[in-house]
Chains A and B, each alone.
Chain A
Amino acid sequence: MADTPIIQIEEMHKWYGDFHVLKDINLTVNKGERIVICGPSGSGKSTLIRCINRLEEHQRGKIIVDGIELTNDLKNIEKIRTEVGMVFQHFNLFPHLTILDNLTLGPIWVRKTPKKEAEEIAMYYLEKVRIAEQALKFPGQLSGGQQQRVAIARSLCMKPNAMLFDEPTSALDPEMVKEVLDVMISLAQDGMTMIVVSHEMGFAKSVAHRVLFMDGGEILEQNEPNEFFNNPQHERTQLFLSQILD
């Protein structure tokens, strides 16, 4: 793996009011690297990845994405957001637009791609997530698993350099989890840089280069997946793993 960092986080802290959510976060993600973040609920996983595309603001330390440091500069923020795709737990598709319009919106309005070309790109990625035949339906007419695949395709249409996933399968009925994970695995095979908040251990084992464990706003432990699952160092990691594995 070429060691070109795409995301660098240095000594980053974040507070909600007085509440210290993220404490001294240091994380470098290289191009093509795939990271899975796990940890108990409320440990700050969502907040961490939301800081990376400035859905949340950090108060101390540095976040550098694709060579651009995140500051209050709106232009930089918008630029970084076009380079980093985000997939949410609850899909957040735009319910008033068709699937196709959901996908072409970003390319047309942000990238200024001509409509026809944007539609070709959209259809390409809809094929890729195996849902092209639904292009003219509205999100409300699709199942949860289908909606999440559309949401992934929507991000891909922006041709991002990295993708963030915030518990992409945890709002899904069990039988739909696999179809979404399959799409994510194929994305990984294409070499996409990914940061995934997830408790899907099978996915982490087969795809991740590194697994991070967060608790109480800190990254307590990180390791390559086999080591991480078979030989967790930290007591709280062991406890957490024992809880989710049975």
Chain B
Amino acid sequence: MEETITSKTTVEIRPPVTNIGVIGWMRANLFNGWFNSILTLAMLYLCWQTIPTFIDWAFINANWVTTSDQCKASDGACWSVVTSNIRFILFGFYPHDLQWRPLLAVVILVGLLIYSQNRNHWKKSLGYIWMTGLFVMGLLLKGGLFGLESVESNNWGGLPLTLLLSVFGLTAAYPVGIILALGRQTKMPIIKSFCVVYIELIRGVPLISLLFMSSVVFPLFLPEGMTVNKILRAQVAIILFTAAYIAEVVRGGLQGINRGQYEAAESLGLSYFQTMRLIILPQALKIVIPPSVSILISAFKDTSLVVIIALYDLLKTTQTTLTDPKWMGFSAEAYIFVALIYFVCCFFMSNYSRRLEKELDTGL
């Protein structure tokens, strides 16, 4: 007995096989205890039942580019609802032979977003590049200059409209939100109470009611004969709504900054605006990257609410396609497609925010 014990202690002790590798991992995470084991088995059974069926439906038996009759005869997915209507889903009522213009606008936008991801490009020139890009995009959509045929904004729709509303909405809402947050912090009573009332009021109503007011109530107050573009009104409603949420998040960030930072900045003789711009906001905004991105993501998805004021955003064009008797009943496929587009955009945002957070980390 004793001999075996002493010899054991002299050899190098390795962890028991069951603690490492795949088996160890499974033991630690999937089968630790009877409850988790049962749960794991149940989930495995569920996957076994659903995944192969889904793959059959979505890929193996799927119809990619067929007529609706062929679709109806088959029991696979009917992606043809997307492929045959892709131009309407993506561009709505935009004139058919001019649809290269919104397509190009979207390509420019995506290009700008990808270009701006790189922090080395964050210079003054980036601002000019964006301004030029936005101008070109507006020109492409609207036309009427340089021999481009003019297109009424009533005919804008689909993906460009969704992207336009969200990208413009979010970029404009952020500065407004920052100003509101700073306003809420000042000692000037009038500005302060205005900001508080504004933020609380907006946060107290759903976006739908704001959109509704901007499209139905607001025009009642305009002088006879004066109209404000419907898209612009929706856009303003989205900006005002999102700004209130951003303001609260930014305020949280401002509260996270130590008083000492203000004092150090002030004791160097920096003015209020310099202190905010150079010292406080860069730190506060860094803290609030994760909650800001949550707001951006939900604001992006909320743009689909513009359907209630009869704007044809991406979701509405898809719905409209499905009212065509030929394609009725293929809503699953159509919505999966739209969901994918939304997912890609949101994934891009959250992924980017995580990278930005890491890059801006200075260890304190």
Q: Which of B261, B268, B269, B274 contacts A79, CB < 8 Å?
A: B269
Query: What is the CB-to-nearest-CB distance from B336 to chain A, in angstroms, rounded to a whole number?
Result: 43
Give bound CA distance, A79 to B260, whole Å. 20
Are B282 and A96 within 8 A (Cβ)? yes
Cβ contacts B342-364/A at 8 Å (1 or 0 each) = 00000000000000000010111
A interface, CB within 8 angstroms of B = 53, 55, 74, 78-79, 81-82, 84-86, 88, 90, 92-96, 105-106, 109-110, 138-141, 151, 154-155, 158
Determine the chain B residues whose CB is within 8 A of the CB of A90 once the complex forms. Answer: 260
Are B362 and A140 within 8 A (Cβ)? yes
Nearest B residue to A81 via CB reads B269
Query: What is the CB-to-nearest-CB distance from B9 to chain A, in angstroms, rounded to a whole number?
Result: 42
Nearest B residue to A86 via CB reads B267
Cβ contacts B255-271/A at 8 Å (1 or 0 each) = 00010110111111111
Beyond A95-B362, A95-B364, A96-B283, is A110–B269 a contact (Cβ under 8 Å)? yes
Q: Is B293 an interface residue (CB 8 A)?
A: no
B interface, CB within 8 angstroms of A = 258, 260-261, 263-271, 274, 278-279, 282-283, 286, 360, 362-364
Are B270 and A109 within 8 A (Cβ)? yes
Are A82 and B268 within 8 A (Cβ)? yes
Are A109 and B274 within 8 A (Cβ)? yes
Give bound CA distance, A109 to B279, whole Å. 12
Query: What is the CB-to-nearest-CB distance from A223 to chain B, in angstroms, rounded to a whole number?
Result: 29
Are A138 and B363 within 8 A (Cβ)? yes
Query: What is the CB-to-nearest-CB distance from A170 to chain B, in angstroms, rounded to a whole number?
Result: 15
Q: Which of B258, B261, B268 contacts A106, CB < 8 Å?
A: B268
Are B269 and A138 within 8 A (Cβ)? no
Total A-B Cβ pairs within 8 A: 71
Are A141 and B363 within 8 A (Cβ)? yes
Determine the chain A residues whose CB is within 8 A of the CB of B270 once the complex forms. Answer: 105-106, 109-110
Beyond A55-B267, A81-B266, A106-B268, is A94–B261 a contact (Cβ under 8 Å)? yes
Are A96 and B269 within 8 A (Cβ)? no
> Which of the listed residues B260, B267, B278, B362 has the most CB atoms from chain A within 10 Å of its own CB?
B267
Q: Which of B263, B268, B362 contacts A96, CB < 8 Å?
A: B362
Beyond A96-B362, A105-B278, A109-B278, is A88–B264 a contact (Cβ under 8 Å)? yes
Are B267 and A138 within 8 A (Cβ)? no
Q: Which of B263, B274, B282, B286 contacts A88, CB < 8 Å?
A: B263
A sample of 23 cross-chain residue pairs with beta-carbon separation below 8 angstroms, ordered by A number, consists of: A55-B263, A55-B266, A78-B269, A81-B267, A81-B268, A82-B268, A86-B264, A88-B264, A92-B258, A92-B261, A94-B264, A94-B265, A94-B279, A96-B283, A96-B286, A106-B269, A109-B270, A110-B270, A110-B274, A139-B362, A140-B364, A158-B268, A158-B269
Query: What is the CB-to-nearest-CB distance from A158 to chain B, in angstroms, rounded to a whole number?
Result: 6
Nearest B residue to A94 via CB reads B279
Determine the chain B residues whose CB is within 8 A of the CB of A110 once the complex forms. Answer: 268-270, 274
- What 5 A-B pairs come out closest when comparing CB atoms? A140-B364, A140-B363, A92-B264, A82-B269, A92-B260
Q: Which of A105, A139, A141 contacts B268, CB < 8 Å?
A: A105
Are A138 and B362 within 8 A (Cβ)? yes
Nearest A residue to B259 via CB reads A92
Are B278 and A53 within 8 A (Cβ)? no
Give bound CA distance, A143 to B261, whole Å. 18
Determine the chain A residues whose CB is within 8 A of the CB of B267 once the complex forms. Answer: 53, 55, 81, 84-86, 155
Determine the chain B residues whose CB is within 8 A of the CB of A94 once the complex forms. Answer: 261, 264-265, 279, 283
Nearest A residue to B271 via CB reads A78
> Which of the listed residues B264, B270, B360 has the most CB atoms from chain A within 10 Å of its own CB?
B264
Determine the chain B residues whose CB is within 8 A of the CB of A79 once the complex forms. Answer: 269
Nearest B residue to A88 via CB reads B260
Give bound CA distance, A90 to B360, whole Å. 23
Give bound CA distance, A141 to B270, whole Å. 25
Beyond A78-B269, A110-B269, is A139–B364 a contact (Cβ under 8 Å)? yes
Nearest A residue to B265 via CB reads A94
Determine the chain A residues whose CB is within 8 A of the CB of B271 once the complex forms. Answer: 74, 78
Nearest A residue to B275 via CB reads A109
- What 9 additional pairs, Cβ within 8 angstroms, besides A95-B362, A96-B283? A82-B268, A88-B260, A92-B260, A94-B261, A96-B286, A96-B362, A109-B278, A110-B268, A141-B363
Determine the chain B residues whose CB is within 8 A of the CB of A141 once the complex forms. Answer: 363
Query: What is the CB-to-nearest-CB distance from B267 to chain A, in angstroms, rounded to a whole number?
Result: 4
Query: What is the CB-to-nearest-CB distance from A109 to chain B, in angstroms, rounded to a whole number?
Result: 5
